[in-house]
Amino acid sequence: MPSTTFRIFRFQPDSGKTEPYHQDFVLEHEPRITLLDAILRLQNEQDGTLALRYSCRSAICGSCACKANGKTVLACMEQVEDLKAANVGGVVRVDPIGNFAPIKDLVADMTPFWEKFKAVKPFLIPDGPAPEKERLVSKEAMQKIYNESKCILCAACYSECNSLAADPEFVGPAAFAWGYRFAADARDGQRKERAKLYSGEHGIWDCTRCMFCNERCPKGVDPRDAIEKLGSIAFQEKVTSDKGARHAKAFLISMRTGGKLNETLLVPYTDPIGAQFNLPFALQMLRKGKAPSPIPHRVKHLDEVKHLVKNVKETI
């Protein structure tokens, strides 16, 4: 029988230890065992104080998200043999999900996650009264929000989110996936209001586009794609006064007028007032040759770029 060392994050506030630490557990087990089953065996056979949330053990309840060798996973979906193979030395390191404070061991305080979920108004707000039977929705229209409907609120995306690491107030990938799920629901009547709600400080434009949420979501929800689609909805609804939206717009203007990105002009377009305060700094940078020239440079075949932009616009 194989034997595995599990290096597990411990935080035991009742024991008088105020700082977290890691503890090694060794377990002999059948070759095929999930990380969750291994931890449950440790809990049952070696240390009853070891804590983690879990329930369905079939990747649908979303309880058991944690980090295995640094990557957020659902413990119930990971095979220990795969985790060992991927890690030098064969030790399986287990930590709680990131961007949360610990309550005990692998149990994190998810309060901010639930509060932000509630803040996106995650419920249908239809226009007008309901019909007697079901609302008619085409298969295609329903399919548009199917991917986001699969979200199990496990917070794997939140755990991996780099924007959150920099700004704890950032609403986060899962909540925005839910935001899109309602904004794009053919039955919802609050598209514009939602676009406004999700823009602004800590909103959709604060996403750093690192794509970790897409990569680590265990259900293929692709929250980053949902955030991007919310950006499109914001433009369609003309909710574009936000710095982030203006930044995106500046890209487009720059492309249309010069055929390529004029990084110096991005700043005043994005934040005209703030840019004035930064003017001395910008001039200094220019003098030292650290910033490109603000004078627009045109590419040779600008008409081709314009044609491309038009084509893209028509396909959206």
Binding site for other proteins (CB under 8 A): 12-15, 32, 34, 37, 43-45, 47-49, 51, 53-63, 77, 103-104, 107, 110, 114, 117-118, 121-124, 126, 130, 132-139, 142, 145-146, 149-150, 152-153, 182, 185, 187-188
Closest CA to 203 of 233, 215, 221, 187: 233
Closer residue to other proteins in complex, CB, 47/271:
47
Closer residue to other proteins in complex, CB, 37/160:
37
Strand 3-10 to 92-95 pairing: parallel
Residue 32 CA to residue 201 CA, distance in Å, equals 47
Angle, CA of 41, 42 and 47, to the nearest 5°: 130
CB of 83 to other proteins, least distance (A): 14
CB of 234 to other proteins, least distance (A): 22
Angle, CA of 162, 149 and 130, to the nearest 5°: 130
Closer residue to other proteins in complex, CB, 123/277:
123
CB of 50 to other proteins, least distance (A): 8
Residue 73 CA to residue 31 CA, distance in Å, equals 20
Closer residue to other proteins in complex, CB, 55/241:
55
CB of 109 to other proteins, least distance (A): 8
Residue 53 CA to residue 57 CA, distance in Å, equals 11
Closer residue to other proteins in complex, CB, 103/285:
103
Rounded to a whole number of angstroms, the CA Rg of the chain reads: 24
> Quick check: 185 and 148 in contact, CB under 8 A?
no
Phi and psi at residue 287, to the nearest 5°: -60, -40
CB of 306 to other proteins, least distance (A): 39
Q: What residues have CB less than 8 Å from 280, skipping those under 6 apart?
A: none
CB of 48 to other proteins, least distance (A): 3
